[in-house]
């Protein structure tokens, strides 16, 4: 058992190192894009299913409340959080529409639509990004495996090239924390943030 525990930690560490080495310039571009959107008064809408839904809620909270420093709240919404909206759309229309209808209701040109899918194939995430692009939102896909259809539809795309859902999710949440910290640094540069 001990060997397996050590292996899991090492696999997670190696995947994070590989991801940042392969995607550093893309991460910087996403930070710049999010910072510009927030400076312009736009919001970030984050969404996904299952563990990715939990990540969407977690990251929206980091933007709205605070991350590491005291600063003004930043506008972010998790489209995965409202069970009444999700279940009514799923019941009256189709589960594949749960995020795209919210994008239609809440999205404005210049906002960021951030879809998370460990498989890269979540139909509802794809449809939401597709809707967001039609409406003039900036789209960001955070995916896993080979990126699937979702990686190809987004303006910005970062993919964790792994077949292991838990390891992909671990990279996703680490990246989410990095994005929060870097956006804070860009917007509220303070010496204690580095």
Q: Where are the alpha helices (DSSP H) in the chain?
A: 2-39, 51-64, 83-92, 100-106, 123-134, 148-153, 165-187
Q: What is the pLDDT of residue 189?
A: 85
Q: What is the pLDDT of residue 1?
A: 94
- Residue 47's beta-bridge partner residues? 115
Contact criterion met (CB below 8 Å) for 149 and 173: no
| SS3 assignment, position 144 | strand
Q: What is the pLDDT of residue 44?
A: 98
Q: What is the pLDDT of residue 27?
A: 98
Q: What is the pLDDT of residue 127?
A: 98
d(Cα 22, Cα 44) in Å, to the nearest integer? Answer: 25
| SS3 assignment, position 21 | helix
d(Cα 105, Cα 142) in Å, to the nearest integer? Answer: 23
d(Cα 124, Cα 79) in Å, to the nearest integer? Answer: 11
Contact criterion met (CB below 8 Å) for 144 and 118: yes
106-136: per-residue pLDDT in tens?
999 999 999 999 999 999 999 999 999 999 9
Question: Is the backbone of residue 147 left (phi > 0), alpha (psi -120 to 50) or beta?
Answer: left
Q: Where are the domains of the chain?
A: 2-189
59-73: per-residue pLDDT in tens?
999 999 999 999 999
Per-residue pLDDT of the chain (194 residues; tens, 9 = 90+): 999 999 999 999 999 999 999 999 999 999 999 999 999 999 999 999 999 999 999 999 999 999 999 999 999 999 999 999 999 999 999 999 999 999 999 999 999 999 999 999 999 999 999 999 999 999 999 999 999 999 999 999 999 999 999 999 999 999 999 999 999 999 998 655 55
Residue at token pair 């809620």: 57
In CATH, 2-189 is 3.40.50.261: no
For residue 108, what are the contacts with CB-CB under 8 A and spacing of at least 6? 42, 43, 135, 137
d(Cα 134, Cα 161) in Å, to the nearest integer? Answer: 28
């Amino acid at each position: 058992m001990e060997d397996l525990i050590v292996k899991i930690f090492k696999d997670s560490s190696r995947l994070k190192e590989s991801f940042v080495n392969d995607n550093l310039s893309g991460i910087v571009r996403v930070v710049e894009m999010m910072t510009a959107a927030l400076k312009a008064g736009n919001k970030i809408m984050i969404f996904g299913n299952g563990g990715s839904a939990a990540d969407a809620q977690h990251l929206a909270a980091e933007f709205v409340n605070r991350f590491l420093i005291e600063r003004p709240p930043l506008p972010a919404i998790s489209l995965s959080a409202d069970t009444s909206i999700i279940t009514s759309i799923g019941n009256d229309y189709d589960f594949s529409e749960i995020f795209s209808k919210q994008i239609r209701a809440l999205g404005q040109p210049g906002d960021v639509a951030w879809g998370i899918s460990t498989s890269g194939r979540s139909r509802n995430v794809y449809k939401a990004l597709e809707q967001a692009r039609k409406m003039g939102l900036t789209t960001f896909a955070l995916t896993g495996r080979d990126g699937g259809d979702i990686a190809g539809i987004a303006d910005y795309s970062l993919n964790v090239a792994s077949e292991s859902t838990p390891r992909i999710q671990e990279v996703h949440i680490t990246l989410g924390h990095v994005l929060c910290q870097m956006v804070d640094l860009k917007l509220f540069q303070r010496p204690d943030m580095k």
